[in-house]
Amino acid sequence: MRAKAYITLVIGLGVAAFCHGIYPWTSANLTRLVLYVIMTLVGSGLKIRLPGINGTLSFYFLFVLLSIAQLTLPETVVIVGAAALCQCFWHAKSRPRLVQVVFNLASNFTAANMAYLTFHEAIWGRVHVGLPIRLAATTVAFFLANTFSVAAIIAFTEGKTIKGVWKDSYFWSFPYYLAGASVAAFFSWVSSQMGWEAALLLIPIAVVLFRGYKLYIRRLESDKLHAEEVASLHFRTIEALAMAIEAKDHITHEHMQRVQTYALELGRELGLPPDEMEALKAASLLHDIGKLAVPEHIISKPGRLTPEEFEKMKIHPIVGAEILERANFPYPVVPIVRAHHEKWDGTGYPEGLKGDQIPIGARILSAVDCLDALASDRQYRPAYPLDEALSMVVEQAGASFDPQVVAILKRRYVELEAMARRMLGHEFSHLSRDVRVKRGITPAAGFEQEAQPAAAASDSGDFLASIAAARQEAQAVLEMALDLGNSLRLPETISILAMRLKQLVDFDALAVYALRNGKLHPEYVVGQDQSLFSSLEIPAGHGLSGWVAANRKAIVNGNPSVESAYLNDATKVSKLRSALAVPLEDAEGVVGVLTLYRSQPAVFNRNQLRIVQALASKLAAAIKNALSFRQVSQSANTDFLTGLPNARSLFTYLDAELQRCRRSGDLLSVMVCDLDRFKEVNDRFGHTAGNQMLCRIATTLQNCCREHDYVARMGGDEFVIVLPGLAITSALERQQQIERATEQACAVQCGERIVALSAGHAQFGRDGETVEDLLAAADRRMFENKRKKKSLHVVVVGTETARGFAFAS
């Protein structure tokens, strides 16, 4: 719209300038006019293509300046019009449109009128200025009028600024216009001395100037081409580094391309300057290059990282920045790579930058990187739908991500996704990881030479390949077997197993079930439908894995949907289509089941079954050891009768809570509880009934407490309750509630009110600041409460007795 309005304005001014210049017509010498037109046409043909834009510059302005100095305005207008038409059609690469021809004529007529009026301005006579100064001023007027009009239409049509186009494409040519003015002034003086015919000598001089100027332009274009080639080489090096990342982490190939497409579009909308756009372009490919320093088993781990593994993973932005510092990029790539895991609220890493402290490129990259990661398949989960992934990113706006970046992403994600899909595959080609190189002579040292029978020579390639594959498989199985014995923590053990096993047997989900009390309990699940399989408790004989456990036989390409069929819940059905399940047995029987799932039907084979069975006995032993270790650990910290934490756990927990309260200033109350007349229960009903009552009381105490309260059994009939954040008045109310609930529970258990509960409380700060002080204070109040109850009981019983004696008498 702006371009059309501008063209209309220029054409209107040009028509007015033409009419003003051509009327009334005057010409002193038609022969001279014809020769000047011919010279101007020759000068118009001496065109030089301007670097950086779709435009040319010719030497006709020398003859126009001479015409302005020696001819009338109508003659000058005719000469300028002939030159403009010559430039439009002579040596043109394509036939110009009518509007282009009219625009060029109009702008030249306007420039010629301005220049002519400048040269013949009456002020020059009053200030006594000579011909050189007048021609210099005329040249400036003609240069500005002619170049600005063309620069403006180029800027409007190509989406650039007028100042930028004029400065880059025309400003540098101004000295040549001034040089032309000097030449025109010289020939104007020669013509005044020798006659107008002397101007014909201007043609060879113009040709010489044209050749020199053309060589200069070629040099500029050569330098520009060299700079572009260096920039292209630089970026191809960046692509090579990105391929190195792909070789380390297979999931990043498409990830890098998609992130780059999204990031650059967001950067353009945010108006990033050119150097930051170039930095973002490079950083979107190289932001994960620091993963080269992270062990592959952490990068490819199909489950959550442990705190130690996460600490190792957190170094990759630092290492990536250090690697790229050596490349000495001419734009700020390193700060983006270093900060691409920082968060808007300052909880990111490695430096905890916050808000605008984070480079804008890193803020763009972190949001886009997270969106694509959520929308892509990972070893530990399938891809989320793009809408759902975007919702997760939007929820973190203002916390993890820049709200402005997220707002643009939310508005344009559909468009950007379509753009990324179109771009996918155009930039990179996959690395040839799986190709087998058949040629190459075995080195004389380093490999064992095996003699091959002559008859088997033709099959040696397949034979050696089979041997190599068998050795690799044996080595992988051996490493997995060693890994299974390295840890007593089951999730860590099976996580490493899953990563290594996937290299031999591909799977979309893996589940390890442990058999306890006739049911399979999921001990470790990773991959697709993780939440579904993690929620199952499969009775032996039910479902696919339950059948394997009950029959102690493997299943190849079973139906995963039967795993949850026994639940009678239509919503809990897996979309996976094939399963490989093997029983995990030791000398005492089935310990559990290892099941692999795939989304395609009938994809497992007997060879893969053999590999999994080779690990089954080792995995069974690892599961049994891990479960035993877990049980021992729990026994050391858990009361065997009630299942509550024991005294050891209580002291550890209470010590940690007190340290937290010292730091934060939070409230904390401790309550010590003891059963009154509990011995009577054991004496009258037996110890079994006493144990049952203790378990009932433990349950009652837990039901009376909040989720984050802590109930422990100190021993015998004594319990301790830790109440974080509870003031003294609330603690007293809670104490009375617990006493009433316990008395009712005991009455239900024994059928009569025998047992009651006495409790005493203490508050952190007021009654002490150590575990021992708080327990001692609560214990004293508990005994005071017990004495009060006993005194009251004696009074009540004595009164009843007195009444009884009185009745008897």
Report, at the CATH architecture level, how domain 2-223 is classified.
Orthogonal Bundle (1.10)
Report, as an integer, the average pLDDT of 12-22: 86
Asked which of 36-40, 452-456, 536-540 is least confident by mean pLDDT, the reply is 452-456
Distances in whole angstroms, Cα of residue 189 to Cα of each of 80, 183, 200, 633, 783 = 22, 10, 13, 109, 126
**Residue 509: which of 601, 580, 578, 596 has the closest Cα?**
596
- Angle 30-45/60-70 helices, nearest 10 degrees? 160
Report, as an integer, the average pLDDT of 486-493: 61
Alpha-carbon distance 60 to 37, whole Å?
A: 10
pLDDT above 80: residue 319: yes
Report, as an integer, the average pLDDT of 228-240: 66
Please give the model's pTM, rounded to 2 decimal places: 0.41
Backbone angles phi, psi at 273, to 5 degrees: -65, 165
- Tens of pLDDT, residue by residue over 406-439, are 999 999 888 888 888 877 654 445 555 444 545 5
Query: pLDDT category, 84, cuts 50, 70, 90?
Result: confident
Pinpoint the residues of the chain covered by CATH 1.10.1760.20.
2-223
First vs last Cα of the chain: how many Å apart? 121
Alpha-carbon distance 357 to 296, whole Å?
A: 32
Report, as an integer, the average pLDDT of 671-691: 85
Query: pLDDT category, 344, cuts 50, 70, 90?
Result: very high
Report, as an integer, the average pLDDT of 745-758: 80
- Tens of pLDDT, residue by residue over 175-202, are 777 777 777 777 677 666 666 666 566 6
- pLDDT of 400 reads 92
- pLDDT of 365 reads 92
Q: Strands 589-598 and 578-586, how do they pair?
A: antiparallel
Cβ neighbours of residue 115 closer than 8 Å, sequence gap 6 or more: 64, 65, 68, 138, 139, 141, 142, 145
**CATH top-level class for 647-801?**
alpha beta
* HEC profile of 626-680: HHHHHHHHHHHHECCCCCCECHHHHHHHHHHHHHHHHHHCCCEEEEEEEEECHHH
Look at the alpha carbons of 598, 603, 606, 610 in this order and tell me if their dihedral is positive or negative: negative
- Tens of pLDDT, residue by residue over 238-278, are 666 666 665 555 455 567 778 888 999 999 999 899 889 98
Query: pLDDT category, 1, cuts 50, 70, 90?
Result: low
Report, at the CATH architecture level, how domain 250-423 is classified.
Orthogonal Bundle (1.10)
pLDDT above 50: residue 638: yes
Pinpoint the residues of the chain covered by CATH 1.10.3210.10.
250-423
- pLDDT of 575 reads 82
Q: Strands 509-516 and 519-527, how do they pair?
A: antiparallel
- Tens of pLDDT, residue by residue over 732-749, are 888 888 888 888 888 777
Comparison of pLDDT for 534 and 157, the residue scoring more? 534
Asked which of 391-395, 565-569, 766-770 is least confident by mean pLDDT, the reply is 565-569
pLDDT above 50: residue 464: no
Distances in whole angstroms, Cα of residue 752 to Cα of each of 274, 681, 749, 755, 756 = 86, 11, 8, 9, 11
- pLDDT of 478 reads 57
- Tens of pLDDT, residue by residue over 712-733, are 998 888 999 999 988 878 888 8
Beta carbons of 755 and 677 less than 8 angstroms apart: yes
Return the CATH fold of 479-636.
Beta-Lactamase (3.30.450)
